Copies of this chain bind each other. A is one copy, B any other.
């Protein structure tokens, strides 16, 4: 794996001095292209044994590049907030905006490497983790975040010698030590093997590992600078990320050689209804269960994420209101999903949802959600078919991160008939305090009903998982819908937490 790096690579100081000004100028020019275009961002991952010079390379890059658009991202020092959120949350929180470069010390590889070395995870769990990492990096790549991965290579003997020197305090400057827990010969051996596997299994065409011989500081830094320059130039000349989005055909039933369109919505019995008395009793019972379960000690280590999607005027707000009454106002937030801010626009799509994921023990209710990509963005042609096509997998991975970290994810589609929607729109026009809920846009959207039916059907097919299933809610009768929502939340909480 590291064969060629094992040979001696050196650069004398004089050659380095000769080479440096031109490299520095080229790096700056390439970085300014990145900054000016604001089309992509770059993550530089620096890994390698303790003493291989991770901190030194980082400082060198700060010296060479325009530091105003650089960020250091580190994950070793314990931060309390990171512990109360899913593991991936911290990477999302720190993601640099387009035009910026983030230099990472201790990335998603770090925990996996050390856990493997200490024997906390076996080989297959390790490989599965790396497979998850590949998908994560592919998603970032597709969303405009390029990744440059540097492995600062030292032979085992050299690394051991440096470690000794480190422990004797012979290094004057702060040293980035990440492998301190790895102690025995057995653990060290597993670590080295795991490192080889990382480089082997996660070198993808878009984000390959670069093995940088690190015995000699000048050679190491010059090579790091050179591969960084290559990456920046490749990013600059890369074709535009996606062909311009086109609106889909006006009516999916008219697609050439189209099969008759199946709609999951057509399977729902919209005549389901409740009388006022049953409604009051059932709602109250479900609310009590929700209150009890979300204030139980067992909920402290879990979290609740509720997604509301549905046609306009299907009753999302009024269903949310009934959930609200059952929850401690200090422990939940409702997130209405509106247009992204410029900080959100400068980052991958899922960023604006990750930043709203609640801490453990808390609840987040999303009034519309990340499913916008495969619903409105698909139907309106706001993103390309390639973008919403890959979104299903990305969303499944995202929700898997949540459920694996203990969150209970509940997703509702509130369904009404087009006729009922028209009646509700008309009512909104006449009741003063409901008028604000209706825009001309809402009337126009009705014409796209068949397109939405197709999108909803595919969405449910592709993203209803065992851990995070969709619940279709027959919402023609508001009372029935509210009770079904509250009961479902209560049932899911009970299934997860016990009675």
Does the CB pair A433–B336 fall under 8 Å?
no
Contacts of A343 in B (CB 8 A): 341-343
* 18 A-B pairs whose Cβ atoms sit less than 8 Å apart in the complex: A55-B328, A55-B329, A59-B325, A62-B324, A67-B321, A68-B336, A68-B338, A72-B330, A72-B332, A74-B330, A79-B359, A80-B83, A80-B84, A172-B284, A174-B295, A174-B326, A176-B328, A341-B341
A457 CB–B CB distance under 8 Å: no
Contacts of A172 in B (CB 8 A): 284, 287-288, 291
Closest approach, in angstroms, between the C-beta of A266 and any C-beta of chain B? 31
Q: State in angstroms the CA–CA spacing of A19 and B137 once bound together.
A: 57
Contacts of A390 in B (CB 8 A): none
A432 CB–B CB distance under 8 Å: yes
Closest approach, in angstroms, between the C-beta of A343 and any C-beta of chain B? 5
A333 CB–B CB distance under 8 Å: yes
Does the CB pair A176–B330 fall under 8 Å?
yes
A367 CB–B CB distance under 8 Å: yes
A429 CB–B CB distance under 8 Å: no
Does the CB pair B72–A333 fall under 8 Å?
yes
Does the CB pair A58–B329 fall under 8 Å?
yes
Interface positions, chain A 45-68, Cβ under 8 Å from B, are 55, 58-59, 62-64, 66-68
Among A24-32, A184-192, A200-208, A377-385, the stretch that binds chain B is A24-32
Q: State in angstroms the CA–CA spacing of A74 and B362 once bound together.
A: 12
Interface positions, chain A 70-117, Cβ under 8 Å from B, are 71-72, 74, 76-77, 79-81, 83-84, 105-106
A334 CB–B CB distance under 8 Å: yes
Does the CB pair A24–B74 fall under 8 Å?
no
Does the CB pair A28–B59 fall under 8 Å?
no
Residue of B nearest to A20 (CB): B433
Closest approach, in angstroms, between the C-beta of A379 and any C-beta of chain B? 21
Contact with B along A115-149 (1 / 0, CB 8 A): 00000000000000000000000000000000000
Does the CB pair B81–A80 fall under 8 Å?
yes
A499 CB–B CB distance under 8 Å: no
Contacts of A338 in B (CB 8 A): 68
Interface positions, chain A 419-451, Cβ under 8 Å from B, are 432-433, 436
Contacts of A362 in B (CB 8 A): 77
New contact pairs (7) apart from A106-B330, A176-B328, CB-CB < 8 Å: A25-B433, A64-B433, A67-B320, A68-B336, A69-B336, A172-B287, A342-B342
Contact with B along A166-194 (1 / 0, CB 8 A): 00000011101000000000000000000
Assuming the A-B contacts A80-B80, A291-B173, are A59 and B317 also in contact, with contact meaning beta carbons closer than 8 angstroms in the complex? no
Closest approach, in angstroms, between the C-beta of A331 and any C-beta of chain B? 6
Contacts of A327 in B (CB 8 A): 174
Closest approach, in angstroms, between the C-beta of A297 and any C-beta of chain B? 14
Assuming the A-B contacts A173-B325, A336-B68, are A330 and B432 also in contact, with contact meaning beta carbons closer than 8 angstroms in the complex? no
Q: State in angstroms the CA–CA spacing of A341 and B66 once bound together.
A: 20
Closest approach, in angstroms, between the C-beta of A307 and any C-beta of chain B? 16
Does the CB pair A328–B174 fall under 8 Å?
yes
Assuming the A-B contacts A321-B62, A336-B67, are A176 and B329 also in contact, with contact meaning beta carbons closer than 8 angstroms in the complex? yes
Closest approach, in angstroms, between the C-beta of A184 and any C-beta of chain B? 25
Assuming the A-B contacts A291-B173, A295-B174, A338-B68, are A331 and B58 also in contact, with contact meaning beta carbons closer than 8 angstroms in the complex? no
Contacts of A418 in B (CB 8 A): none
A21 CB–B CB distance under 8 Å: yes
Contacts of A321 in B (CB 8 A): 59, 62-63, 67
Q: State in angstroms the CA–CA spacing of A295 and B55 once bound together.
A: 15
Closest approach, in angstroms, between the C-beta of A155 and any C-beta of chain B? 25
Does the CB pair A71–B329 fall under 8 Å?
no
